[in-house]
A and B are shown apart, each in its own frame.
Chain A
Amino acid sequence: MNLLEVDGKRLLRNAGLSVPGGQHLVREGETLAVDRPVVVKAQLPAGGRGKVGLVRLAEAGEAAGAAAAVLASLKQQGRQPLVLVEEQVAFAAEHYLALTLDDVGQQLLLMFALKGGVDVEDAPDAVRKLRLDPSRPVHPHELISFFREAGVSGKALGSIARFAAALPRLFRENDATLIEINPLAVTAAGQVVALDCKMSLDEYASPRHRDWQSWLSAGFAEAGLSELEVRARRSGFTFIEMEGDVAIISGGAGLGMMLVDLFAESGHRAANFCDLLGGSGEREFREMVDLVLERAAKPDVKAIAVYFTLSATSLKAAVMSVVNAIRSRPPAKPLVVGFGAAGPAENEMTMAQAIETFAALGHVCVADPAALVAAVDEALKNRAGAERLAVDKGG
């Protein structure tokens, strides 16, 4: 779950870390009265807000108007209208500070850039990295040389080291995968304040964080998803909608990606990617198939490809699931089916029988992913030919 700034800053504040004061959340139609200069920030789980006018500085008297303007822009963009208003902080320097995971070293990775406030992706060389042992607490003095070598000096050196040393515990206790403070401001007095906070939490840890679902951020988890993607998310499987002409029903992340690549190489484009969780049953399978068939009903999709590599699942069960799904929702477009099955998977039904079963329903069934792509290609060519013929006859 990607947190809204307001939730991230709440976690920082609860950990004793400094964030700007005077926070107000403003929704549509709500009034705002402040007595000092503020910054008005759209709340959405995505970066780059400043570049598109969704962060504004305002004097006290203009704050309500600025908040209303940002709310209006959000609404216009089809986003949930919510803004965070907080006091402006006068600062002497802005840095970049982040904590994430080193997936190879299996450690925490502390990142710092002297020049913050910008997109560090654009200047990767400016980012310094320090690996931290996740099994022990981090103390500020252990970070002093890291920040000193990065160019920090004066009173800020201690403040930044203390701030950074508090992050690993915050990271662990909240099951975070990323905490990014950009910018981390340093005041003239050498105090640090987190002016922004981007945080990602590990959804796999949600069973031990029952409260997450009541956070503001949870209401934004579906922001930017298509209607079908939202339904898939609620049903508990992966579905990603793409621009393409072949809708795909498959299982397994790697196999699904391979199919997307195979179709791309053959001159077609996958209209979606989907994947079921291990241990999913017939209900989840049907929901996924129904969703892909809905995707396939849209005009840009010309054909449907089904492919599963079966290790433990019985071929008969897989065939019947597909047959039942397409019987109850007959696709109006060519559908080609494929299974990789061998050994015990064929105990109840052989591949030859599966091919016969689908042939009886008017669908091609193949054993190999390349054959699947070829059969889809041929079906589309035949269909295009038939359409041309119909047009010729009509003309």
Chain B
Amino acid sequence: MSILLPPGARIIAVSATGPYGRAQIAFMNRHGSSVVAVVAPGRTGLTEDGLPYYDTVAEAMDATGADAAAIYTPAGGCADAIVECADARVPLVLAAAERVPVQDSLHALPYARERGTWVIGPNSVGMFRVGHALLGSFPGEFTLPGRTAVLGRSGTLTMTVARILSQHGFGQSWLCHIGGDLLAGRNPHEWLEMLLADEDTDQVIYCGELGGSKEYAMLDIVAAARKPVLAMIAGCHAPTGKRMGHAGALANARRETSAAKATALAEAGARIATTPYGLVAYLGELDVPRHAAQPARPARSGSTR
């Protein structure tokens, strides 16, 4: 696992030239990573806030030997940037953009895979090696160090689950957001396999959602896992035939519903919760050690009156 995002990861920020990109750079630097270069054609030789600019990812890789790249190129150019990163042999790439055409992903994602590049996204918040390195924009303040990995199809849900775990004293080793599109750089089963093999992780939580068939590819790995796998599939009570925000979140067939996927995962041996609080209860049953100190500001529970 350490090959993916080493502590203090050195990161190239692609197209991070506007205020949003600069904020993302500051965010990553604050959470253990070190952004070492920005790629923006036409700006080679410039330096801004101490960061060197390069025209291409390949030039930035040659100069810095970075561990990863974060792509902030808008949707229309996102797949091109993924291909550019794969050509430059960047081992780990985050594609943040929403609304990337699926045909573009269909070309760029297998292209990157063939070259050994691990793509997170498109439409992803990124991944956080809690306390050590951030690629993307998970708020570190929602986390506590620990040995539970959280893997999710939704950024806000992954964050929310991490925050609820922290409030109950359960720390995390990794937060990984696969991406909310129909196609993701790597499928949940590939992530799960890697997280189960990680020596800093004792159990893995998977937060899925309705739509697509990616969960069925996880069943063999769940069945063979020697560490507990917990899962929650959002959208149990979603109306049928509606796209729930994400491009991938539309149940086209019975097997794509939350209930069908949860049943299949349960049969393979995963513990299924329907809410984050159910996940907390399972961690308690597993005797996962809790932090004595709660995060700075504990959650209010129940009524405020």
Please give, as numbers and ranges, the residues of chain A lying within 8 Å of B246 by CB-CB distance.
253-254
Query: Are A121's CB and B253's CB within 8 A?
Result: yes
Partner among A258, A343, A370 whose Cβ is within 8 Å of the Cβ of B141: A343
A260 to B249, CA, bound (A): 14
Query: Are B213's CB and A103's CB within 8 A?
Result: yes
A294 to B170, CA, bound (A): 40
Query: Are B154's CB and A207's CB within 8 A?
Result: no
Query: Are B102's CB and A204's CB within 8 A?
Result: yes
- Category for how many chain A residues contact B: 35 or more
Most B Cβ at <10 Å: residue of A103, A254, A264, A309: A254
Please give, as numbers and ranges, the residues of chain B lying within 8 Å of A370 by CB-CB distance.
275, 277, 301
B207 close to chain A: CB less than 8 A: yes
Please give, as numbers and ranges, the residues of chain A lying within 8 Å of B154 by CB-CB distance.
252-255, 257
Query: Are A255's CB and B160's CB within 8 A?
Result: yes
Partner among A134, A251, A252, A340 whose Cβ is within 8 Å of the Cβ of B106: A134
Tell me how far the C-beta of A256 lies from the nearest C-beta in chain B, rounded to whole angstroms: 6
Residue ID in chain A nearest B113 by CB atoms: A106
A50 to B243, CA, bound (A): 25
A279 to B305, CA, bound (A): 36
A121 to B256, CA, bound (A): 13
Please give, as numbers and ranges, the residues of chain B lying within 8 Å of A263 by CB-CB distance.
237
Please give, as numbers and ranges, the residues of chain B lying within 8 Å of A343 by CB-CB distance.
139-141
Query: Are B244's CB and A256's CB within 8 A?
Result: yes
Task: List the one stretch of B38-46, B63-71, B179-187, B195-203 in contact with chain A.
Answer: B179-187
Residue ID in chain A nearest B242 by CB atoms: A240
Query: Are A254's CB and B156's CB within 8 A?
Result: yes
Residue ID in chain B nearest A355 by CB atoms: B304
A310 to B141, CA, bound (A): 11
Query: Are A253's CB and B249's CB within 8 A?
Result: yes
Query: Are A204's CB and B142's CB within 8 A?
Result: no
A205 to B99, CA, bound (A): 8
Q: Per-position contact with B for A334-353: 1 when CB-CB < 8 Å, else 0?
A: 00000010111100000100
A105 to B230, CA, bound (A): 24
Residue ID in chain A nearest B163 by CB atoms: A340
A257 to B235, CA, bound (A): 5
A301 close to chain B: CB less than 8 A: no
A277 to B180, CA, bound (A): 12
Which residues of chain B have a CB within 8 Å of any CB of chain A? 20, 23, 27, 75-76, 98-103, 105-107, 109-111, 113, 125, 137-142, 152-160, 163-164, 167, 180, 182-183, 187, 189, 207, 209-210, 212-214, 216-217, 234-239, 242-249, 253-254, 274-277, 295-297, 299-305
Sample 25 A-B pairs with CB under 8 A, ordered by A number: A103-B183, A104-B187, A104-B189, A134-B106, A135-B107, A172-B103, A175-B101, A175-B103, A204-B75, A204-B247, A255-B156, A257-B209, A257-B238, A258-B157, A258-B234, A258-B275, A260-B238, A263-B237, A273-B238, A310-B139, A311-B125, A311-B138, A355-B304, A374-B302, A378-B305
Top 6 A-B pairs, shortest CB-CB distance: A254-B154, A252-B156, A254-B157, A253-B245, A343-B141, A342-B141
